[in-house]
Structure 1
Amino acid sequence: MRDVYRSLLTTLSGILCLWLILGFWPLSVGSRITLSLLVLLVCGALLWRQRTLSLSREEALRDIQDDSLPPEDFQGAVVLACGDNAALFATENRHRETRQGWYLRVKDAEQLPLLVQHLSLVRPALVSQISVLLAVLPESHLSADAFAQQLRGWQRAVVQCRSTLGSLPPLWTVSWISPPAASADPEPVWFTTVSTRSGIQVHQPGQGNLSLSEWTRETDAAGRLSRLSQALWLDSFLAWQASAVDSLLSVRQSELPAMKPCAQGICMLPVSGAEGNLWQQHIAAITALEPEQSRSEGEPLPLPELLLSALPRHRGISRRMVFWRHIGLIGGVFLVLAMLASFINNQRLIQSVGDHLALYHSLKGEPYQPKLRAQQRLRADGALLDDWLRRGEPVRYRLGLYQGLRLIPPVEAALSDWAPPPPPPPVIKKIVQGPKTVRLDSMSLFDSGKYDLKPGSTKLLVNSLVGIKAKPGWLIVVAGHTDNTGNPGLNQTLSQKRAEAVRDWMRDTGDVPESCFAVQGYGESRPIATNETPEGRALNRRVEISLVPQANACQIPGKPQTPSQDDDVVQNKMEK
């Protein structure tokens, strides 16, 4: 879920950046394309990096399973058990849960900062509840130098957690030692130190917290000797702890700051240890007392529950709250940038329309062409503003900053205070045009494959050719056409013959000289419709008759040409 949230935030950021670039900021097309590609590349790289870090983190934390982590609504302390923590957990367990705390076993010092980082990502609400427990079992060490080196490693790991948490996590130390053989108490005894003012407190089941002096007095004569021996044992351990543990943590090194535990605890109960361990070496050097018999190795040591109340507590922030905070931050940044872009766009609109108005008012209108061009620009501005008024302005001008409404009145006033002079009336020339082309259906005049006029086609020809009249200077062009059915050569001949038949009828009926006609047969070469359908082929089977101006055409034998005024106009048009 953590990676999903981060991917969603990255994707949302990319979408909002593209929206800013493409929808708000006044950029050129090339700049928009370049910035959009850059945003896509950056988002892709971030998503790939997040995926790579997730895989590497999973590899580093392969021993930490999410089912061993506390739930996000856990209200107790989250304790990262470091140091000699093997005796606190069963063999297969990696955590222990109590009413007040959730103890997580840290395998080694290198894993501690990674675990803290992992918790901050998957359980951010529990970050403020994290503390580091440094478990000390002197009876499990044989070399003082090796023990000091181990403490240095854990101290360095705690310092590395500061980069994730922002400060050093609360550190507290708890030691488990075997009591003296003369001790008569069957239950473990806890000695705790929370502050120097309260001193050492003693906690024993059924007795509550007592001061060390009260604890040594409140017993019978037989048990007092046992408690005195435990008190002497405690003094000896405190001396060893001051020299072996506290001196290392409280002294500042070159790369490590000084650390003061917020609480300390000592538990006296039989502990499984090695022969000749550090505690035995220390006891042998100062006293003749012997440690109690070691406990079974399979039973975990008791947890320091009574010290959890002394740990600093803060209210945490859940992962969902962090996600929505990031959403709010991204949305706020987007809104600020979008409003800034909208303000710039509106200022540019005001400046553009203002410049057009200033130029328009500065022109006197003589000559009128410059002012007319300025007026046309203002008309374009007014049409744009009016369109935005009816349909709504573009998004890049919105967010409550649109200034176009106050520009409409001055533009309309400027457009109404001047009009260009009317243009001069156009010179109308009389141009004589011939009639339109007459198109006759071949199937109405001829039988299929024939070129002899059908009986009864005379009426159709008379009605269709009313406007086709012979006149000097005009040529009557008769053109025949067919569809693409059949042989192309035969179709061309058929179209020629049909045109000649129509020409002969017009010549004989109107007593028109041969020089007034031109006959053409095009066959299937000039269709006016598709030949793929019966309707198209019917349209292509036709005879077209038109008048074409041509000098010296349609001369009557024995009479010179007397050109009319209309013929001169046509002739002049042809010469031009």
Structure 2
Amino acid sequence: MRDAYRSPLTALGAVLALWLILGFWPLFTGSRVALSLLVVLVSGVMLWRQRRASQTRVTAVRDIVDENLPPEDFQGAVILVCSDNNPLFVPGSRHRKTRQGWYLWVKDAEQLPLFAQHLSLVRPALLSQISVMLAVVPELHTSGEDFTQCMRGWQRAVVQCRAAFGTIPPLWTVTWISPPVACTDAEPVWFTTVSQRSGIQVYQSAQGNVSLAEWTRETRSDGRLSRLSQGLWLDSLLAWQNSAVNDLLSVQRGELPVMKPCVQGMCMVPVSGIAGNLWQQHITSVTALPPDAVVTTEPLPLPELLLPALPRRRGVSRRMVCWGYAGLLGGIFLALAMLASWMNNQRLIRNVGDHLALYHQLTGKPVAPKLRAQQRLRADGALLDDWQRRGEPLRYRLGLYQGLRLGPIVEAAVSDWAPPPPPPPVIKKIIQGPKTIRLDSMSLFDSGKSALKAGSTKMLVNYLVGVKAKPGWLIVVSGHTDNTGSQQINQPLSLKRAEAVRNWMRDTGDVPESCFAVQGYGDSRPAAPNDTPEGRALNRRVEISLVPQADACRIPGNTHASSQDDDVLKNETE
């Protein structure tokens, strides 16, 4: 991944990861928070390291000026000129542009991998057009051992370019030597080897490419020097080239692989050399006569004729690479999001299915478990209906939502059973001994109220028709509540309810108020334990008792009733 777009892609990956964790993946809240913090921490560290690496790279390649680089839409070959490259460039210049190629000057072997990395970052579309040219000028060297070490350093640097390019870039060599003295005024002659089958080809601007044998048979028009002398000069160059360069590249040494140049070129052109250079040493060893030194200020000719033979493949622009990685991240996110959505929907199906299975297993006897299971299904149905109207959550979407088919199933299950209707409200009358009637407060009053409900008077008429006001009997009306609420509320409420019943009896039966005694006990006298709904229902009551009391309830014109009158209560069972 290239540094130029590594940071935005890291940020994009962090955003997608957070979206996946918070919006899709089925996790508990604590796990989501922990993973979100981990993603933020990791992405922050990666961005910091990328920034540090970018700053280090910029410092390392400060000698590389982007104005010297070819534009990203350049269609020709891009050549990294290494080794003896100074004679190929005008002093102060770091590149040469031709119709077919763009030649870039590389400072030294240490800079070559950094240069390759820089190009891969700022000109990724040109990677397929890049090759490495080893420029060999033996007349610039005097020590064979130093030359060998220099070649090995460049060979190692070319191998290190694999980290930036993904593969070892094409390598080719070009050698420049001064021609024989008699030919110094002639035009440059190129000897090229593109493939072993075609052999050595000779190029001159006047005749173009011809084979070496054909070129050797020809004689110069001026007749002063045959090309045989140049051929002998070429044989010496080939011998030196094979021993000093080709054999070095073709032998594997440790981590350095065998590197066979894809193209080789040799040019006979005047070269400004130094005294006692390698070429003079080689010619002296062969002929015992050192060649004369040549002085020239012109840059060496570029190997334009070799560029069409270089391997080429289609490149990918930086924008295309960036979009490719973004598409890859988006594809991974979509796959994981769909997986999470599928898992969420399966969990929804499993939960609703468990509720349905439990609901269908219960027979309804007793009613409470079946009713609780039905209430859970009602809650499931309400949730699914709400999602259908307002849209399901994002974690269930991506075309995998299953709630639409679950809704009718839940609705049908809820509708196929109903709890038995509750018994009609009745006044529960429990006879305590022969003289007490117990009335259910909830049948007479609303919750927390002391006014008789509409319709309760009919019940009172039916159940209290046997209560007669007799002289010598006191009608005691007492109110009771359960333990729900405080005593400060329950006691006054029970008293007011007893007074309401007393007032109704007084007004309806034309019974003097002196016949009544009203009491409110609150929850102090429970008839049953208050820890069950049934017990609390029994405790919410109004009791009516006839208590014999001398001189009680004297009605003018009535005779004194016997204290043994047993027909004052009409005992009824439920």
Alignment match, 1:302: 301
Cα distance between partner residues in 1 of 2:84 and 2:192: 19
Cα distance between partner residues in 2 of 1:167 and 1:54: 22
Q: Is the 8 A contact 2:191 2:265 kept in 1?
A: yes
Point out the more displaced range, 25-34 or 388-397: 388-397
Corresponding letter in the other structure for 1:388 = W
SS in 1 for 2:381: helix
Per-residue CA distance 1:214-257 (angstroms, 9 max, x = gap): 22333346447342211111111111111111111111112211
Q: In the alignment, is residue 277 of structure 1 matched against residue 277 of structure 2?
A: yes
1:564 positional shift: 7.0
Cα distance between partner residues in 1 of 2:4 and 2:114: 20
Alignment match, 2:259: 259
Query: Percent sequence identity over matched residues?
Result: 69
Alignment match, 2:509: none
Corresponding letter in the other structure for 1:568 = V
Alignment match, 2:194: 194
SS in 2 for 1:173: strand
SS in 2 for 1:182: helix
Cα distance between partner residues in 2 of 1:373 and 1:574: 31
Alignment match, 2:165: 165
1:174-213 equivalent positions in 2, closer than 5 A: 174-183=174-183, 185-213=185-213
Per-residue CA distance 1:73-114 (angstroms, 9 max, x = gap): 111111011111111112211111111111111111111111
1:187 positional shift: 1.4
Cα distance between partner residues in 2 of 1:355 and 1:300: 87
Corresponding letter in the other structure for 2:416 = D
1:566 and 1:209, CA in 2 relative to 1: closer, same or farther beyond 3 A? farther
Per-residue CA distance 1:141-175 (angstroms, 9 max, x = gap): 01000000000100111111123323221111001
Alignment match, 2:443: 427
Cα distance between partner residues in 2 of 1:392 and 1:313: 54
1:292 and 1:100, CA in 2 relative to 1: closer, same or farther beyond 3 A? farther
1:225-374 equivalent positions in 2, closer than 5 A: 225-287=225-287, 291=291, 293-297=293-297, 299-374=298-373
**Structure 2: gaps of 5 or more residues:** 426-441, 452-494, 497-511, 526-574
Report how many residues are paired: 448
Alignment match, 2:395: 396
1:3 positional shift: 4.8
Q: Is the 8 A contact 1:179 1:291 kept in 2?
A: no
Cα distance between partner residues in 1 of 2:234 and 2:515: 140
1:548-567 equivalent positions in 2, closer than 5 A: none
Corresponding letter in the other structure for 1:285 = S
Cα distance between partner residues in 2 of 1:358 and 1:239: 91
Per-residue CA distance 1:120-152 (angstroms, 9 max, x = gap): 122111111111100101011010000000001
Q: Is the 8 A contact 2:96 2:104 kept in 1?
A: yes
Per-residue CA distance 1:164-196 (angstroms, 9 max, x = gap): 323221111001101111226521111111111
Cα distance between partner residues in 1 of 2:220 and 2:144: 39
Cα distance between partner residues in 1 of 2:153 and 2:279: 21
Q: Is the 8 A contact 2:136 2:175 kept in 1?
A: yes
1:478-489 equivalent positions in 2, closer than 5 A: none
Alignment match, 2:155: 155
Cα distance between partner residues in 2 of 1:567 and 1:398: 71
Alignment match, 1:129: 129
Q: Is the 8 A contact 1:90 1:300 kept in 2?
A: yes
Per-residue CA distance 1:303-338 (angstroms, 9 max, x = gap): 111100110010001111101111111111111101
Q: In the alignment, is residue 217 of structure 1 matched against residue 217 of structure 2?
A: yes
Alignment match, 2:410: 411
Corresponding letter in the other structure for 2:338 = M
Point out the more displaced range, 27-36 or 159-168: 159-168
Alignment match, 2:529: none
Task: Please report the TM-score for the alignment, with normalisation by the length of structure 1.
Answer: 0.74
Corresponding letter in the other structure for 1:362 = Q
Cα distance between partner residues in 1 of 2:380 and 2:295: 94
Cα distance between partner residues in 2 of 1:44 and 1:215: 67
Alignment match, 2:16: 16
SS in 2 for 1:342: helix
Cα distance between partner residues in 2 of 1:417 and 1:313: 76
Cα distance between partner residues in 1 of 2:20 and 2:354: 27
Cα distance between partner residues in 2 of 1:352 and 1:75: 62
Per-residue CA distance 1:454-487 (angstroms, 9 max, x = gap): xxxxxxxxxxxxxxxxxxxxxxxxxxxxxxxxxx
SS in 2 for 1:568: strand
Cα distance between partner residues in 2 of 1:566 and 1:29: 66
Alignment match, 2:518: 568
Per-residue CA distance 1:469-511 (angstroms, 9 max, x = gap): xxxxxxxxxxxxxxxxxxxxxxxxxxxxxxxxxxxxxxxxxxx
Cα distance between partner residues in 2 of 1:220 and 1:321: 55
Q: Is the 8 A contact 2:220 2:227 kept in 1?
A: no
1:417 positional shift: 1.3
Q: Is the 8 A contact 1:80 1:106 kept in 2?
A: yes
SS in 2 for 1:9: helix
Q: Is the 8 A contact 1:216 1:224 kept in 2?
A: no
Per-residue CA distance 1:338-393 (angstroms, 9 max, x = gap): 11011111110101001000101111111111111111100000001111111111
Q: Is the 8 A contact 2:24 2:395 kept in 1?
A: yes
Alignment match, 2:480: none
1:181 and 1:312, CA in 2 relative to 1: closer, same or farther beyond 3 A? same
